[in-house]
Amino acid sequence: MVDTKVDLCGITIDNPVIPASGTFGYGYEFAELYDINCLGTFSFKGTTLEPRFGNETPRIAECPAGMLNSVGLQNPGVDDVIREELPTLERVFHKPVMANVSGFSTDEYAEVIRRLDRSRMADMIGWYEVNISCPNVHGGGMSFGTDPKMAASVVKAVRWTTDKPIIIKLSPNVTDITEIAIACETEGADAVSLINTLMGMRFDLRTRKPILANVTGGLSGPAVFPVALRMVYQTAKAVRIPVIGMGGVSSAEDVLEMMMAGAAAVEVGAANLVDPYASQKIVRDLPETMKKFGIEAFPVV
């Protein structure tokens, strides 16, 4: 018998398969299709302090082996998440959930976590995943995730707000992602997750204009898997805290590659948008795939 359990920042989960933020809503939508308790956990939709409509449409563009998105963090805001989304989720998901948090200043990041952590729904949350790919509105618009000092400032701001594990979600749109990871670890991050999407664009040949209303968007899907795998491998060697790998994962074999690269758990993103049963299938296939390659338990040694 293989053992699919993994330890993620002191919390044991049944398997390392975690649907990624932005691809799984607030969970209950997928619970209409299958029992989502088969998952290790999932990272719910990126949540900000205030409600956000997101970017103008079109927001999605297809491309070979992937897709571009420019959704723009559309969400109802943290207060509505506490009041409406989490109570609905609680009825169908009976494990700790990962709360994905976004902000446009260090104060916003801290306030979102503070409200979640002091809410009546706080016991549902096992981890906070902090997306630092957002633009710093007080720092010229540069993404927090592209500069070690700015990344560290977010970790420093949120670290005092909760005793729960803080996972920093890193942007791949940097020269050396390990620098950012080390800066986050130094300021007290419990783990890092990577990679977020790579920047890209497409043109409509008929109109001769960009397909996306926002011009550029984030590339995800199988096309980014080798890049993500390389960054996970490098980061896992550079830090002592757990690394959660993601980027183009669409099969149990991909999960094993990520774990071999040093990941403690693996998030599944765009695959959920192509096939809503993708994460369920990966969980189903994982034990036999482990047996096939002689893996009895994690970490892979």
pTM for this structure? 0.96
129 - beta bridge partners?
100, 167
State residue 141's pLDDT score: 52
Residue 246 contacts by C-beta under 8 Å, 6 or more apart in sequence? 20, 193, 194, 195, 228, 258, 266, 267, 268, 269
Convert the pLDDT of each residue in 29-86 to its tens digit: 999 999 999 999 999 999 999 999 989 999 999 999 999 999 989 999 999 999 999 9
- For the chain, domain boundaries: 6-54+73-201+219-292
CA 75 to CA 212: how far, in whole Å? 20
Q: Which residues are catalytic?
A: 134
Mean pLDDT of the chain: 95
Task: Mark 114-132 as b/e (b = at least 16 C-beta within 10 Å).
Answer: ebbbebebeebbbbbbbbb
**The two structure tokens encoding residue 67:** 């897709």
Question: Around Cβ 246, how many Cβ atoms within 10 Å?
Answer: 30
Is the pLDDT confidence value at 198 over 60?
yes
CATH of segment(s) 6-54+73-201+219-292: 3.20.20.70
User: For the chain, what percent of residues have pLDDT higher than 70?
Assistant: 97
Residue 276 exposed, middle or buried by CB count within 10 Å (0-12, 13-18, 19+): middle
Query: Which position has the token pair 């932005």?
Result: 22
Residue 279's nearest CA partner among 9, 43, 66 is 43
